Chains A and B, each alone.
Chain A
Amino acid sequence: MTPLLKVENLSIAFRTRNGEVTALHDVSFEVGAGEVVGVVGESGSGKSVSAYTTIGLLDQAGRVAGGSVSYDGKPLLGQQRPLRGREISMIFQNPRAALNPIMTVGQQLSDVLKRHALAGRTDAKSKAIDLLRQVQINDPEERYNAYPFELSGGMCQRVMIALALACSPRLLIADEPTTGLDVTTQKTTMDLMRELTRARGMSVVLITHDLGMAAEYCDRIVVMEKGRVVESAPVRQLFTAPRHPYTQKLIAASPGPDSRLEDLTRGQLEAPAKITPTPQNRPGPDRLLEVVNLVKEFPRRGTGFFGRKPAPFRAVDGISFELRRGESLGLVGESGCGKSTTSSIIARLQDATSGSVIFDGHDILHHPAQRFAKMPQRGQVQMVFQDSHDSLDPRWSAADVIAQPLRRIMGMKDAGELSRRTAMLAEMVGLPGELLSRYPHQLSGGQKARVNIARAIATDPLLLILDEPTSALDVSVQAVVLQLLDRLRRELGMSYIFVSHDLNVVRLLCERTIVMNRGKIVEEGSAEQVLHAPRDPYTQKLVAAIPHFEPEKLRVS
């Protein structure tokens, strides 16, 4: 039987300022009828390029340098135009931007239906509403007239699915369809997509960086690295007996519910720093931080036409918790749950509406955030942000960034001392000394994360707040950074508040976990207990939504 899609020795080259760069080298894979194939790889692996070539939407700078793609036994390259939508369609990440912002979702659906002559002027609307119903959108008649900005991200992605399935194509390409969505939304969206494509007997190419998701939704997986296919195998075989070293590394680095920190790099721990800082004797009460009844409200911008102001939005709704000296606490929840607001209030970057944050015996909320830079506690509470690139001023070198707190908080002036101390900090976070003179755009993602961590520990803080520090990193880099953070905590005797949406990652680094939902704490307990025996219904839903790849649970395909 001929496969539905056959990619053979495909090579793609891109024109750049520095001449042509080959993005794909001899890539081959097949997609059978009704099969779901996952294309997995880290950033820069070329996983999306093959898909864009297939559907004929490759960037103008790219060109096919060799190989072929055939669809249903016929050559496809250059012939995609009449097939798009009808035979092959695609859904993208960031669904809200992928829908036309000034057209209602219903019009966009009708447009596609009319284009493929599946509906006339009279029945386009009813057919579009029917499609919306099929993707389980409530009140489809009303949503027909909604604009994308009026819908949530998950809803927009369902509209995208409806658009892609409108003409019942036989092949669907999904490019990171749920990246950026919350885990629970991710699960419902993916389940819906699986259900609809299975019912229609469609083939699916799922492009993702998330091995767990690939394991859960695919029959076969193609692993890509640097523009090459390194391994292609049925899902069970790939996870139970990965052959290629890169696949093995990738699988190990993806944290599962039972993995240990040292497993992530298969026992190969990074060489510890040559400089072992003297563990510090830091006297003080055992309770380092106490958050009492913390509230943060944001005024809602309303239509206040007749003086009626809408009730303010409570991002943080009266939460209380404690943190012991040397403890590591996970703060978990989905976007909008208030975890980031809480952490930035504790880091004194934002003011609270009410409540208190008692740090080392002092209520640090007494000092407004604007003036906290000059308080003695500034050096003791530090923070690392999610986006390691955005956290670095494009005009400052790594050394300047690390030296900044030394100058401003520690008051160091002597150039020699500054550079000695900066070099030492770089050594501690495993940043090669010769990179210190580089600027952000000359550093890799992992290196930028290290610069940010070095900046944060420069003042020897007692409390380090980590706001999703690894969520933008590739899994293999994440593994190393997590190990680094764990080592630093032990060596420097810091306490951590680790903010994350990923319970698996939190469990690796934290002893205790707090789960937040809608500004409130819904569950608190040891990290193991929260992940393996959640009590609160919301936590249960959250845990159930995490895509896993436990080999014993995998389907036999």
Chain B
Amino acid sequence: MAATLAAPLTRLRYTLSGNPLTAVGFGLFALMIFLALFGPAIAPYDPLATRAVNALQPPSWAHPFGTDHLGRDVFSRVIVATRLDLGIALSAVALSFVIGSALGCLAGFFGGWADRIIGRMSDTIMAFPLFVLAMGVVATMGNTVENVIYATAVINLPFYIRVARAEVAVRRNAGYVQAARLSGSSSLRILATQLFPNVLPPMMVQISLNLGWAILNAAGLSFIGLGVRPPSAEWGIMVAEGASYIISGEWWLALFPGTALMLAVFCFNLMGDGLRDLVDPTRRT
């Protein structure tokens, strides 16, 4: 019953050695987790401490990423922001994964009315430009971090529903599912022991690609003033605050948080591509 552990591990090693970029992705992810956990402890300055005399200093040894318009250390703020950005993305994706895969599995396995209702639901969400829907949800539900998480979860939901539904529906009448019925397994047991484990790998790919997108969305929302409020350190807000200084040449305010954001998304996409190769080497793109 236990899945083979050895085979995927050798394949993981193969994929990593054949594709160093994936290894870079996993390395960056590890760094991000580290910063999220210990960021506040290793940041050289208090990310919220303002010092007007020190404002708008270009990068130096004391302030490797420079200081912002209130004299705060950009380096410390970028590091500390990791926890908030990663936290929003992870909780939103976890939420949509749990709900979406459950709904998708039910729709794919039972078909009929369940399928039609769940399908309509995800179609309706997909009928919106997703970022715009997220804007609407946060705007009406209230401008808080929790609502940014919910909004991001809602707009990611259809992707999980679709992947889970399609993967389950393909396998619903597979020989081994029929064989499990013959062996006395009930529908729910088949769903849990035969279908879900086989659906999980493609879902993992989806999760990884989605994390990048979720971070982008959350940062985009705070860039236009939704969700996270100043003076909290968050990459999107920091870019927004730096935006007005770009035209006067103070590039470091926006560059460093923007690069951090980009690297985070890049890392999730690299991991996603690597996982995709791992799960299905034939669909390599």
Which residues of A approach B to under 8 Å, CB–CB? Answer: 17, 344, 347, 349, 370, 372-374, 378-379, 382-383, 385-397, 400-401, 404-405, 408-409, 439, 452, 455-456, 458
12 other contacts beyond A378-B182, A393-B176, with CB at 8 A cut-off?
A344-B178, A370-B187, A373-B185, A374-B184, A385-B175, A391-B178, A391-B179, A393-B194, A395-B197, A397-B4, A409-B183, A458-B183
The answer to whether A373 and B198 touch across the interface, beta carbons within 8 angstroms, is: no
Give A347 to B175 CA distance when docked, in angstroms. Answer: 13
> Which residues from chain A contact B179 at a C-beta distance below 8 Å?
385, 391-392, 401, 452, 455
Q: How far is the CB of A133 from chain B (nearest CB, A)?
A: 41
Which residues of B approach A to under 8 Å, CB–CB? Answer: 1, 3-4, 7, 14, 174-176, 178-187, 189, 194, 197-198
The answer to whether A409 and B184 touch across the interface, beta carbons within 8 angstroms, is: yes
Give A397 to B2 CA distance when docked, in angstroms. Answer: 8
Q: Given A394-B198, A395-B4, A396-B1, decide whether A455 and B178 contact each other with a Cβ distance below 8 A.
A: no
Partner of B198, one of A382, A393, A409: A393
Give A393 to B198 CA distance when docked, in angstroms. Answer: 8
Partner of A382, one of B7, B182, B185: B182
Give A17 to B175 CA distance when docked, in angstroms. Answer: 29
Give A389 to B4 CA distance when docked, in angstroms. Answer: 17
The answer to whether A404 and B180 touch across the interface, beta carbons within 8 angstroms, is: yes
Select from chain B the residue with minimum beta-carbon distance to A440: B176
Q: How far is the CB of B284 from chain A (nearest CB, A)?
A: 13
The answer to whether A385 and B178 touch across the interface, beta carbons within 8 angstroms, is: yes
The answer to whether B175 and A390 touch across the interface, beta carbons within 8 angstroms, is: yes
The answer to whether A379 and B175 touch across the interface, beta carbons within 8 angstroms, is: no
The answer to whether B176 and A390 touch across the interface, beta carbons within 8 angstroms, is: yes
Q: Given A349-B178, A452-B179, decide whether A404 and B197 contact each other with a Cβ distance below 8 A.
A: no
The answer to whether B178 and A378 touch across the interface, beta carbons within 8 angstroms, is: no
> Which residues from chain B contact A387 at a C-beta distance below 8 Å?
175
Q: How far is the CB of A444 from chain B (nearest CB, A)?
A: 17
Q: How far is the CB of B167 from chain A (nearest CB, A)?
A: 13
Could you tell me the dominant secondary structure of chain B's interface residues? Answer: helix
> Which residues from chain A contact B175 at a C-beta distance below 8 Å?
385-392
Partner of A378, one of B1, B14, B184, B187: B184
Give A401 to B182 CA distance when docked, in angstroms. Answer: 11
Partner of A404, one of B174, B178, B183, B198: B183
Q: How far is the CB of B159 from chain A (nearest CB, A)?
A: 24
The answer to whether B182 and A395 touch across the interface, beta carbons within 8 angstroms, is: no
Q: Given A393-B194, A395-B3, A395-B198, decide whether A373 and B174 contact each other with a Cβ distance below 8 A.
A: no
Select from chain B the residue with minimum beta-carbon distance to A399: B1
> Which residues from chain B contact A390 at a C-beta distance below 8 Å?
174-176
Give A112 to B175 CA distance when docked, in angstroms. Answer: 41
Select from chain A the residue with minimum beta-carbon distance to B195: A393
Q: Given A391-B176, A395-B197, decide whether A405 and B183 contact each other with a Cβ distance below 8 A.
A: yes
Give A451 to B64 CA distance when docked, in angstroms. Answer: 64
Select from chain A the residue with minimum beta-carbon distance to B197: A395
Select from chain A the residue with minimum beta-carbon distance to B176: A393
Q: Identify the interface centre among A349, A390, A393, A452: most chain B CB within 10 Å of its CB.
A: A393
> Which residues from chain B contact A379 at a C-beta distance below 8 Å?
184
The answer to whether B198 and A383 touch across the interface, beta carbons within 8 angstroms, is: no
Give A400 to B179 CA distance when docked, in angstroms. Answer: 12
Q: How far is the CB of A435 from chain B (nearest CB, A)?
A: 15
Q: How far is the CB of B232 from chain A (nearest CB, A)?
A: 44
The answer to whether B1 and A400 touch across the interface, beta carbons within 8 angstroms, is: yes
> Which residues from chain B contact A385 at a C-beta distance below 8 Å?
175, 178-179
Give A349 to B185 CA distance when docked, in angstroms. Answer: 12
Give A436 to B183 CA distance when docked, in angstroms. Answer: 18
> Which residues from chain A contact B186 at a C-beta distance below 8 Å?
373-374
Partner of A439, one of B7, B184, B187: B7
The answer to whether A383 and B182 touch across the interface, beta carbons within 8 angstroms, is: yes
Select from chain A the residue with minimum beta-carbon distance to B180: A404
> Which residues from chain A contact B174 at a C-beta distance below 8 Å?
390
The answer to whether B183 and A408 touch across the interface, beta carbons within 8 angstroms, is: yes
> Which residues from chain B contact A396 at a C-beta distance below 8 Å?
1, 176
Give A16 to B185 CA distance when docked, in angstroms. Answer: 40
> Which residues from chain A contact B194 at a C-beta distance below 8 Å?
393
> Which residues from chain A contact B183 at a C-beta distance below 8 Å?
404-405, 408-409, 455, 458
List 13 interface pairs A-B (beta carbons < 8 Å), by A numbering.
Answer: A17-B14, A373-B185, A374-B186, A385-B175, A390-B176, A391-B176, A394-B198, A395-B197, A396-B176, A397-B4, A400-B1, A408-B185, A455-B183
> Which residues from chain A contact B3 at a C-beta distance below 8 Å?
395
Q: How far is the CB of A129 from chain B (nearest CB, A)?
A: 40
Give A374 to B185 CA distance when docked, in angstroms. Answer: 8
Select from chain A the residue with minimum beta-carbon distance to B174: A390
> Which residues from chain A contact B181 at a C-beta distance below 8 Å?
349, 372-373
Q: How far is the CB of B247 from chain A (nearest CB, A)?
A: 51
> Which residues from chain B contact A388 at a C-beta distance below 8 Å?
175
> Which residues from chain A contact B14 at a C-beta distance below 8 Å?
17
Select from chain B the residue with minimum beta-carbon distance to A395: B3
> Which residues from chain A contact B184 at a C-beta distance below 8 Å?
373-374, 378-379, 404-405, 408-409
Closest 6 CB pairs of A and B: A391-B175, A408-B184, A405-B183, A409-B184, A390-B175, A393-B176
Q: Identify the interface centre among B175, B176, B181, B194: most chain A CB within 10 Å of its CB.
A: B176
Give A388 to B176 CA distance when docked, in angstroms. Answer: 9
> Which residues from chain B contact A378 at a C-beta distance below 8 Å?
182, 184
The answer to whether A439 and B178 touch across the interface, beta carbons within 8 angstroms, is: no
The answer to whether A404 and B185 touch across the interface, beta carbons within 8 angstroms, is: yes
Give A394 to B182 CA distance when docked, in angstroms. Answer: 18
Q: How far is the CB of B212 from chain A (nearest CB, A)?
A: 28
